[in-house]
């Protein structure tokens, strides 16, 4: 494994960086927009007490809210993404803080709205729709507000909760600064004497090394360092769940889970169905672990053995340009409008490609800006990064289709469907790659990679979801989320999910401390449900062709115009039942069997 120094931000060629000038030409223009947006808080407050006055006034409020929403998303997106370029850059961290303050000020000034919309009598609201037909655009947002009547407070109480929003972001921000800016892991030397910089971004790629002793050193070095700050990270998670409980109780929900899922109209049964269905299908996971142990030829399988390819000889470098070309071919089944849009993103610097010192780890798509989405990558010239690129561009094109089809108020899709488009891209990519190889080793390597994706997204994310549920239940029972308590629970779940053929090393008990998604309020389960829904949609596209593609694009273009369960039914999937999860896990089991035969 060749040594590659991580460059400073200033050393990254411009063509491999995203062009944030599409949002703001300069920091000075951003600061000018900040001053203008600060004044908008007063304008937003001027509607207080007037929303039930007339149809004209209600329509005016919604239109101005739309305009403000577009400006705020562009404003906050610039500061946030500049901050992610280098988390140690204090200027942009300050901008991010300023952006959040403006956002909270406007949210506080607008906090009266839900209560006032709730208070409009039904017959009055019906008359408003008749008097002002353009209000029909806002029927869905109005209905979403009114369905939560039991959880909307008085205008003054809503203003207080909105003002607490800035404080509620503190645990996540502190955790991110610790993991990405302050923590340093140093270098790890392989068996040939090469030194490799260890970081959040390089940790998993280094664990893909065929050098087992090196993998062990990487694993132990990372978790030894993380263990030195485990109490601090546990304290941030304890703070996270305390703030979730504050809002849950203020809004009269029974649990933090109920409060989180109600925001996106997802029944709690979907969360519990997922965990139970995965438990029912753990034998397929255990077969996978047995197969990995056998093919690696080890007496004991350890947690530092889970990322290295089983068919290592077929692993190859995939430069960024090659990855883009292959993705365009793989997704051609979705039509030229889809691939033309992909190419536009590739050619016009929507993507921040490579890792640099201080850059936020991982990958994401930021799709809220009206101009176009952005993707953060830490591309590593390997198959995993190629899949990540396809994944994040799936998010981006979902955002693009919704934003350019829906009115502002229903253009943002909810998180429950957020992982579907990204994973459809991954499933179509693996099918393309498998269809274009006759080499037995390469086929085995590709199936192994997809099995690892499957395992990581469905089994692993469900394990995360079960751990997050346990954290919520502990916090709600008055139990402090200490490092020791979290390590004990995580270790227990790791043993359950990986089964008897996996050695659950002591270090893995600390894995919870490196997962940023535990600060995202019951988000992770949607990776698993989204993956299962995507498997069903992609297989339908590949077997049915044009009708399935048409239905899928209707789904991509629907934003939040319906509840998420109804949206997925457009694409032919019913997530209110355990069946899609069960079908996907059956598919996983069949791939394990094919891999065993290969």
Q: If we measure between CA atoms, which residue out of 378, 359, 356 comes closest to residue 7?
A: 356
- pLDDT of 21-42, one tens digit each? 999 999 999 999 999 999 999 9
Q: If we measure between CA atoms, which residue out of 353, 321, 516 comes closest to residue 9?
A: 353
Mean pLDDT (the chain) is 94
User: What is the pTM for the complete model shown?
Assistant: 0.82
Residue 449 binned pLDDT confidence (cut-offs 50, 70, 90): confident
- The span from the CA of 580 to the CA of 448, in Å, is 22
The architecture (CATH level 2) of 18-168 comes to Up-down Bundle (1.20)
Residue 2 binned pLDDT confidence (cut-offs 50, 70, 90): very low
Determine the pLDDT at residue 4. Answer: 67
Domains of the chain by residue range: 18-168
Cβ pair 183, 229 in contact under 8 A: yes
- pLDDT of 538-586, one tens digit each? 999 999 999 999 999 999 999 999 999 999 999 999 999 999 999 999 9
- pLDDT of 306-324, one tens digit each? 999 887 677 789 999 999 9
Beta bridge partners of 366: 374
Between vectors from CA 86 to CA 80 and to CA 87, what angle results, nearest 5°? 70
Beta bridge partners of 503: 302
Classify strands 502-503 and 364-366 as parallel, antiparallel or unpaired.
unpaired
Determine the pLDDT at residue 293. Answer: 96
Q: Decide which of 204 and 166 is more confident.
A: 204
Q: What is the pLDDT averaged over residues 273-282? A: 97
- pLDDT of 362-405, one tens digit each? 999 998 888 999 999 999 999 989 999 999 999 999 999 999 99
Classified as helix, coil or strand, 510 is helix
- Is 392 noted as a catalytic residue in this protein? yes
- pLDDT of 393-436, one tens digit each? 999 999 999 999 999 999 999 889 988 999 999 999 999 999 99
- pLDDT of 53-78, one tens digit each? 999 999 999 999 999 999 999 999 99
Q: Which of 116, 355, 392, 419 is catalytic?
A: 392
**Which 8-state DSSP code applies to residue 360?**
P
- The span from the CA of 309 to the CA of 312, in Å, is 5
E strands in 480-553: 502-503
Determine the pLDDT at residue 532. Answer: 96
């Amino acid at each position: 494994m060749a040594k590659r120094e991580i460059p400073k931000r200033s050393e990254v060629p411009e063509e491999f960086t995203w062009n944030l000038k599409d949002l703001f030409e300069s920091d000075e223009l951003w600061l000018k927009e900040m001053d203008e947006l600060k004044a908008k808080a007063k304008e937003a407050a001027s509607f207080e007490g007037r929303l039930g006055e007339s149809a004209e006034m209600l329509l005016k409020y919604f239109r101005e809210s739309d305009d403000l929403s577009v400006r705020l998303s562009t404003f906050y997106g610039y500061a946030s993404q500049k901050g992610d370029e280098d988390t140690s850059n204090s200027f942009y961290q300050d901008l991010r803080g300023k952006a959040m303050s403006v956002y909270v000020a406007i949210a506080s000034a607008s906090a009266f709205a839900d209560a006032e919309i709730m208070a409009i009598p039904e017959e009055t609201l019906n008359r408003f729709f008749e008097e002002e037909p353009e209000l029909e655009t806002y029927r869905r947002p109005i209905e979403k507000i009114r369905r939560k009547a039991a959880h909307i407070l008085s205008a003054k109480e809503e203003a207080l909760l909105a003002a607490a929003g800035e404080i509620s972001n503190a645990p996540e921000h502190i955790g991110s600064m610790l993991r990405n800016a302050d923590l340093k892991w140093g270098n790890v030397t392989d068996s040939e004497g090469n030194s490799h910089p260890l970081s959040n971004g390089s940790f998993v790629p280094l664990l893909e090394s065929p050098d087992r002793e090196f993998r062990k050193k990487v694993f132990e070095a990372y978790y030894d360092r993380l263990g030195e700050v485990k109490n601090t990270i546990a304290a941030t998670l304890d703070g996270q769940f305390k703030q979730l409980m504050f809002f849950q109780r203020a809004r009269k929900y029974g649990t933090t889970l109920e409060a989180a899922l109600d925001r996106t109209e997802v029944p709690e049964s979907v969360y519990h169905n997922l965990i139970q269905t995965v438990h029912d299908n753990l034998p397929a996971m255990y077969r996978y672990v047995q197969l990995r142990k056998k093919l690696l030829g080890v007496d004991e399988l350890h947690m530092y053995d889970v990322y290295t390819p089983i068919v290592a000889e077929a692993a190859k470098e995939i430069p960024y340009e090659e990855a883009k070309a292959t993705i365009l071919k793989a997704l051609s089944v979705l039509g030229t409008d889809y691939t033309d849009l992909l190419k536009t993103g590739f050619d016009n610097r929507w993507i921040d490609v490579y890792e640099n010192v201080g850059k936020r780890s991982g990958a994401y798509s930021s799709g809220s800006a009206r101009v176009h989405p952005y993707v953060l990558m830490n591309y590593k010239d390997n198959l995993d990064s190629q899949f990540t690129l396809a994944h994040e561009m799936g998010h981006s094109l979902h955002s693009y289709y919704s934003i350019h089809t829906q009115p502002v108020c229903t253009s943002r899709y909810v998180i429950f469907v957020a992982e579907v488009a990204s994973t459809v891209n991954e499933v179509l990519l693996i099918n393309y790659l498998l269809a274009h190889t006759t080499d037995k080793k390469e086929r085995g390597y590709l199936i192994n990679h997809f099995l690892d994706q499957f395992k990581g997204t469905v089994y692993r994310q469900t394990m995360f979801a079960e751990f997050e549920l346990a954290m919520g239940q502990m916090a709600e029972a008055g139990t402090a989320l200490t490092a020791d308590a979290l390590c004990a629970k995580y270790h227990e779940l790791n043993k359950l999910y990986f089964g008897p053929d996996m050695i659950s090393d002591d270090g893995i008990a600390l894995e919870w401390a490196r997962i940023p998604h535990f600060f995202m309020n019951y988000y992770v389960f949607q990776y698993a449900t989204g993956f299962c829904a995507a498997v069903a949609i992609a297989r339908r596209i590949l077997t049915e062709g044009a009708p399935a593609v048409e239905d899928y694009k209707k789904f991509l273009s629907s934003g939040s115009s319906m509840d998420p369960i109804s949206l997925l039914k457009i694409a032919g999937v019913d997530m209110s039942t355990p069946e899609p999860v069960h079908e996907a896990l059956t598919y996983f089991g069949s791939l394990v069997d094919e891999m065993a035969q290969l």
